[in-house]
Structure 1
Amino acid sequence: MENQAKEKSVWLPNQLSAVKLFLDQVEFSINESYEQLDGKTLYEYTIIHNDNSGILKILPELKNSPILEEYNRMLPLDKTEFLYQSAYKKTGGVLNLFHGEINESMDSELKELFRKNEDKNKAIKIWKDTKSELWSSLSPKLVWAGGGKLEKELLLQFCGKLTDMMQGKKFHTQGSAIIKSMEYLRAWQLAYDEICSDNPMNAIIKEREEIYNRKIKFLKEMNIECDF
């Protein structure tokens, strides 16, 4: 499977991970700050103006492009963004590049919390801070927050390294290719990386925590209630 990242062909084990590579980059770009938006992130600009005009301010070439629809789908254009269920619509970033679609029915942790707590809000408050196996030990609030510039750089680096490692290798089944890719991802995320001067997992969590804190602060300033 091939896709484009930094104009370089990369190897990925299946079509789903190729799609997720693209969607990850869209999601990360929404959390970046832009001079064209007066230093605001695309996420913040969208909420302030309640439209998608920020996209074409930073990426005018996307006009009439199908990619614009993906941005529209990910931007906070309605109140569902602020409900706990929106976490299941996020990509989960590079740590979840090879994971399939996740939905609430798969979340046994949340089901158990709802069972134990009559107060649904209390259950969600515990759930959002709890590391989840569904998202490679990211907590739901960090999945909801999304990654940023650093995670994008790490994602592209990982894809490049995976491509180099898989060069010339043949797999008899797609499943074996995915397993090998997952094994490489898990080793990569815990190894020291010069890009972040840490291991990627720690760096990704740190950046997502910063993005989360900025989003929550902004939403409070905008008087927007949020489950996260």
Structure 2
Amino acid sequence: MSKVKNAGDIWVPTKEVASKILSIQIENSINEVQVNLNNKSFYEHALINKSAECVVKIAPELKGTIILDDYIRKLPLDKTEFIYNSVYSKTGGVLNLFNPEIKEDMDEILKNLIKDKCDKNKAIEQWKKVKSEFWSGLTPELVWAGGGKVENLLLVDFNKQLTLIMENRQFYTKGSAIIAAIEVLRAWQVTPREEFDNKTPMEIIIEERKEIYNKKIELIKSMNIESDF
């Protein structure tokens, strides 16, 4: 299988996964606090100022690049960010690195809740807090929130471990490579880490995403922005 240059050679089962790694890194980095933005994240600064100029201010080397375009797409520059179905445009982070893209018409949990509640707004209110196998046990509201600095560090750690395990193995189909990679991911995510008080990566990721979610919701409410989340 191929390798991709991303902070050194790493093993990836498909080119799509290589692209998703970068997308996850960007999605998480917009939530990181930036000292030069008065301790606000790119997400917060863009929401308050209705502009993506903060990214170029902090990382001028991105100007004119495809990566900058990806940053801009992920910033809250229009109302679609706050509609429930924006969650299907999110990556789901490292826990969902090998999962296929999720679309609304695939979401049976939401469909069934709408059917049971007969009120879409009430259904969405419940749905956003339900853990979903679509997103490897994350709730829609945590998928929407995104990860942060810690999850990006864990993503790098996982990629290193995956490479050590897989780089000398031979796979004859993409499917078999992805299945093997998922098995490594599922074992990694439940292995306690001493440097994080013996919490598992999954626990650490959920904890960080909850903090990010609460911070975003607090800002959104303070700005009187209508949001399904």
Which TM-score applies when normalising by structure 2?
A: 0.97
Are the aligned partners of 1:92 and 1:146 in contact in 2 as well (CA < 8 Å)? yes
Indicate yes or no: 2:19 matched with 1:19: yes
Amino acid at match of 2:185: L
Aligned position for 1:140? 140
Code of the aligned partner of 1:155: L
Which residue is equivalent to 2:90?
Answer: 90
CA–CA distance in structure 2, aligned partners of residues 195 and 120 of structure 1: 43
Query: 1:124 Cα deviation (Å)?
Result: 0.3
SS in 2 for 1:102: coil
Q: 1:171, 1:177 within 8 Å by CA — same for their partners in 2?
A: yes
Letter in 2 for 1:81: E
What is the distance in 2 between the residues matched to 1:3 and 1:142? Answer: 28
Secondary structure at the counterpart of residue 4 of structure 2: strand
- Write out the 4+ residue segments of structure 1 that deviate beyond 6 Å after TM superposition: none
Q: How far has the Cα of 1:2 moved from its partner?
A: 2.0
Q: Does 1:208 align with 2:200?
A: no
Q: SS of the counterpart of 1:21?
A: helix
1:192-212 Cα distance to aligned partner (Å, 9 max, x none): 123433100011000000000
Q: Say yes or no: does 1:149 pair with 2:123.
A: no
CA deviations on 1:134-183 (whole Å, 9 max, x unpaired) are 00010000000000000000000000000011121101111111000000
Change (3 A) 1:225 1:195: farther
Distance in 2 between residues matched to 1:118 and 1:175, nearest whole Å: 39
| 2:170 partner amino acid | K
Between the aligned partners of 1:164 and 1:195, the Cα distance in structure 2 is 21
Residue 2 of structure 1 corresponds to 3
Distance across 1 between alignment mates of 2:5 and 2:30: 19
Q: Secondary structure at the match of 1:3?
A: strand
Q: Distance in 1 between matches of 2:151 and 2:4?
A: 18
Pairwise CA distance, 1:121: 1.0
Q: Aligned letter for 1:223?
A: N
Indicate the residue corresponding to 1:109 in structure 2. Answer: 109
Aligned counterpart, 2:30: 30
**Aligned residue identity for 1:180:** A
- What does residue range 37-186 of structure 1 map to in structure 2 within 5 Å? 37-186=37-186
Residues 94-147 of structure 1: per-residue CA shift (max 9 Å, x gap): 000001111101100000011111221110010000000100010000000000
Once residues 70 and 30 of structure 1 are traced to their aligned partners in structure 2, the CA distance between those partners, rounded to angstroms, is: 11
| Distance in 1 of aligned mates of 2:5 and 2:152 | 14
State the secondary structure of the residue aligned to 1:191. coil
Give the AA of the match of 1:148. Answer: G
The Cα shift of 1:4 comes to 3.1
